[in-house]
Amino acid sequence: MDDSMIMLDDATLDRINRNKAFMTRVWNLENDERPGFIIGYVGPRMKGGTPVPSAIFSTDGPDSVRDRLLDPEKFLQAQLTEMRAQLQFKGDYVPSLCPAIGVVGIPSAFGGEVIWWERDLPAVRPSIGDDPMQVYDLPKPSIRDGELGRILDYTRYFAEQTGGQIPIRLGDFQGPLDAAALIFGHNNFLMAMLTNPDEVHHLMGMVTDLMIEVIHAQRDAAHAYGAEFVPSLHQPWLPDGLAVSVSNDECVMMSTEMHAEFHVPYLNRLSEEFGGIYHHSCGKWSHQFPSLEAIHNLRGLEFGASEATYEPVLEHFNGKVFTSCRIGLQRDMKFDGMADFVRKVMGKAKTTRGFFINVDVTNGIVGDDWPETDLDEIYNLIGAN
């Protein structure tokens, strides 16, 4: 490993510490002057900088996605390259490394077969068939079963190779509901909620137990090499102890009552263990507002502006909890450019307190005519000049 690729000079370290201090204020709803923001991949054309593809999610680069994810050195180098490039932009970016290999970690520990696609993140086959009673045949997994061992090994490798200088983010453990749906298979899981609720709760409990164990193990692995642990898969930087991030895409396909019965109790267990919940969901989840408000210490929401959509989310939650907004994957709602996105979401935010804008199209749908992004225009809109 080339040390020159890792070392952060004093000026960069000072900036990172200032960003952490500001982002702590954003999480605490104390930022009156402007929203928090980072500049990610804004499309192929950019004025004022060079576009930076995601090392985790992009299909571009010298290696296939599969090669990059299965080789810890290639994966580390790709993330360091992205990190150095992102530090060239203004914003509240805190460099961090993430051993995320897609959604397969928890399901693979329960026996799900992993399919390693060459040009995409891996998938996993359900380990339960059509009979919900099979949940009782599942052995209790260890924190190294399936691909969880790889996530822990990558955590140690990243921290060791960088001398503990760069924080390590949470692996992609999803959330209890999403992981259980992958173990069951989505259709069988949703049906079992109606026909076999006891079996669903049994699996949810097992999944939550494993998540708690493996998150603690990942934190310990990072700390063993002197690295800071960031308890969030999702951007931005999150102070350890304030919350843990969960992905909850499955909630869009069920009623508020079902989500309150089958997921909120397990989110509350995670919240009590880690200090709060930073909640991500793709899709249109605005019908879940009541059940989300039942989560103990709901600290933040991460969402796609075109999916949820941004107007009701900001009307309901802005100023109450941290709200992180990106473009999103809705095909029927598209913005006319990055400046249009920033202008519209800022126009609907009632306050800058706790508001964060992820200026990034990596997990968003944009048209072929997506215009050049002028970074100075974005900085002026946000008030970061």
**Angle at Cα 176 formed by Cα 254 and Cα 260, nearest 5°?**
40
Q: What are the C-alpha distances in Å from 325 to residues 145, 152, 230? A: 34, 29, 19
CATH no. of 52-88+95-235: 3.20.20.210
pTM of the full predicted structure? 0.96
- Domain assignments of the chain as residue spans, ordered by start: 52-88+95-235
Tokens of 45: 């054309």
Which residue, among 18, 24, 184, has the nearest Cα to 111 in the 3D structure? 184
Tokens of 125: 């086959």
Q: Can you list the alpha helix ranges (DSSP code H) found in 28-99? A: 65-70, 72-86
Contact between 333 and 366 (Cβ < 8 Å): no
Pairing of strands 355-359, 244-247: unpaired
First-to-last CA distance in the chain? 36
What is the DSSP secondary-structure string of 187-204?
HHHHHHHHH-HHHHHHHH
Mind listing the pLDDT tens digit of every residue in the chain (385 residues)? 444 445 688 899 999 999 999 999 999 999 999 999 999 999 999 999 999 988 887 777 778 899 999 999 999 999 999 999 999 999 999 999 999 999 999 999 999 999 999 999 999 999 998 999 999 999 999 999 999 999 999 999 999 999 999 999 999 999 999 999 999 999 999 999 999 999 999 999 999 999 999 999 999 999 999 999 999 999 999 999 999 999 999 999 999 999 999 999 999 999 999 999 999 999 999 999 999 999 999 999 999 999 999 999 999 999 999 999 999 988 888 899 999 999 999 999 999 999 999 999 998 888 888 999 999 999 999 999 7
Pairing of strands 46-47, 373-374: parallel
String of b and e for 307-342 (b: at least 16 CB within 10 Å)?
bbbbeebbeebbeebbbbbbbbebeeebbebbbebb
What SS3 class is residue 49? coil
Q: What is the rounded distance in angstroms from the CA atom of residue 141 to the CA atom of residue 162? A: 30
